[in-house]
Amino acid sequence: MKAVVIGAGSWGTALARMLAQKYPQDTVTLWARRPEAVESMTVNRQNDAYLPGVLLPESLAFTYDLAVTRDADVIVLAVPSHAVRQTAAALASYVSSDTIIVSATKGLEQGSLKRMSQVIGEELPSLASQIAILTGPNHAEEVSREHPSATVVAAPTKAVAEYVQDLFILPYFRVYTNPDVIGVELGGALKNIIALSAGIATGLGFGDNTKAALMTRGLAEITRLGVAMNANALTFAGLSGIGDLVVTCTSSHSRNHRAGVQIGQGKTASEVQAATSMVIESIRTTQAAYQLAQHHAVSMPITTAAYQVLYEAKHPKEAVLELMTRGRTHEVEELAFGQTAW
Ligand SMILES: NC(=O)C1=CN([C@@H]2O[C@H](COP(=O)(O)OP(=O)(O)OC[C@H]3O[C@@H](n4cnc5c(N)ncnc54)[C@H](O)[C@@H]3O)[C@@H](O)[C@H]2O)C=CC1
Ligand SMILES: O=C(CO)COP(=O)(O)O
């Protein structure tokens, strides 16, 4: 088996470590953009910049040459969402007709508003039915230290989903399958907006009630948009929905949550992003989701408030007050008075 993980940030490094650990006799390579990163990982057997303190198996190879993907059985894409199209396009001359692509990126493409599997499918059309999504409540810092974690793989066919399930499943990494590609992908992308918002609330000095309200009503609006885009509502009650929402809104590892805290304390999104080389996906995803909500005429009040804070310089306190005092609504739109037992 020949597997290549593209993207040597925290998550790509953790995924490559897992594959090399599980398949020490096979060829597992981690591709990084920068030659210095390749050199440093080869010498130190650690990714000091993005996953410090985690030893990488001897069998894991490193390269900055994309030609390593020639005839790979599996290519895992773990680059930030804004780099997925150019990266997938660059792979076109190397992939073979039976290569499986795994997308581990959580985001939406700016402008086109497309999901990552759609973007990859456009650049690698002959592989469109061989693109799987791996997503769930999985901070790289914990998975790479073998904390028991669960994740979900979605793909257009059962065969591809089960291939990727088999590929990654480990005693500390339990992999489920789900045929709902749209729902699984949207869950992973949209939860980052709510994590950013929960961080903003923390930065403003609010406590756990506020966070719980944001998480619950955040899930409601994610589900509304998902259903309008043909996802199954049940998927959002799963690992890629509530699961990832919980971990990203509450974990000290979350970059999106941390960014929100700083914005709540008065920094701008550009200041926060400029201060780290790590990707804060929610900044771009908030804009894309705001535009998707308009396109599908779906109400997404928290996403709208986050958009106004990030892109229209609205003060977070004002955004919170507007969210709290807007028109009254039902909790569950489908449950009508007079039709429910009491
Ligand atoms: N960190 C985590 O625990 C998890 C991250 N993800 C997702 O994985 C994706 C990658 O995130 P991380 O690994 O956390 O990244 P990171 O924030 O740890 O590092 C960013 C990486 O992206 C690379 N990069 C930046 N611009 C690039 C470009 N134009 N082309 C190619 N590479 C570029 C950097 O060199 C660096 O390796 C994101 O979509 C993230 O949401 C998903 C699950 C867990
Ligand atoms: O998606 C993640 C965990 O499941 C990572 O979230 P952050 O990008 O906020 O760190």
Average pLDDT of the chain?
98
Banded pLDDT at 207 (limits 50, 70, 90): very high
From 178, 205, 229, the end of a domain falls on 178
pLDDT at 340 over 90: no
pLDDT tens by residue, 26-85: 999 999 999 999 999 999 999 999 999 999 999 999 999 999 999 999 999 999 999 999
pLDDT at 229 over 90: yes
The answer to whether residues 198 and 135 belong to one domain is no
CA distances from residue 140 to 8, 279, 312 in whole angstroms, order as listed: 12, 13, 32
Place of tokens 């985001």: 107
pLDDT tens by residue, 123-169: 999 999 999 999 999 999 999 999 999 999 999 999 999 999 999 99
73 is in an annotated binding site: no
Q: Domain range spanning residue 250?
A: 182-325
Banded pLDDT at 97 (limits 50, 70, 90): very high
pLDDT for res 188: 98
Pocket test for ligand 2, best of 139, 173, 244 (most atoms within 8 A of CB): 139
Instruction: State yes or no: is 191 an active-site residue.
Output: yes
pLDDT tens by residue, 165-182: 999 999 999 999 999 999
pLDDT tens by residue, 240-260: 999 999 999 999 999 999 999
ipTM over 0.90: yes
- Spot the catalytic one: 2, 114, 191, 211: 191
Ligand closest to the CA atom of residue 109: 1
Distance 159 CA to ligand 1 centre (A): 28
Q: Tell me, what CATH number does 257's domain have?
A: 1.10.1040.10
Q: Tell me, what CATH number does 108's domain have?
A: 3.40.50.720
Distance 9 CA to ligand 2 centre (A): 12
| Paired sense of beta strands 27-31 and 100-103, if any | unpaired
Q: Is residue 332 part of a domain?
A: no
Give mean pLDDT, residues 220-239. Answer: 98
pLDDT at 333 over 90: no
Q: How many domains does the chain fold into?
A: 2
Q: Is residue 337 part of a domain?
A: no
**Sheet containing 173-178, strands listed edge to edge, beginning at the edge strand earlier in sequence:** 60-63, 27-31, 2-6, 74-77, 100-103, 131-135, 149-154, 173-178
Q: Which atom of ligand 1 is nearest to the CA of 136?
A: 43
pLDDT at 342 over 90: no
How far apart are alpha carbons 157 and 171 in whole angstroms? 25
Place of tokens 């804070």: 309
Percent with pLDDT over 70 in the chain: 100
Distance 170 CA to ligand 2 centre (A): 21
254 is in an annotated binding site: yes
The answer to whether residues 25 and 170 belong to one domain is yes
281 is in an annotated binding site: yes
Pocket test for ligand 2, best of 103, 255, 276, 278 (most atoms within 8 A of CB): 255
Give mean pLDDT, residues 233-237. Answer: 98
The answer to whether residues 149 and 123 belong to one domain is yes
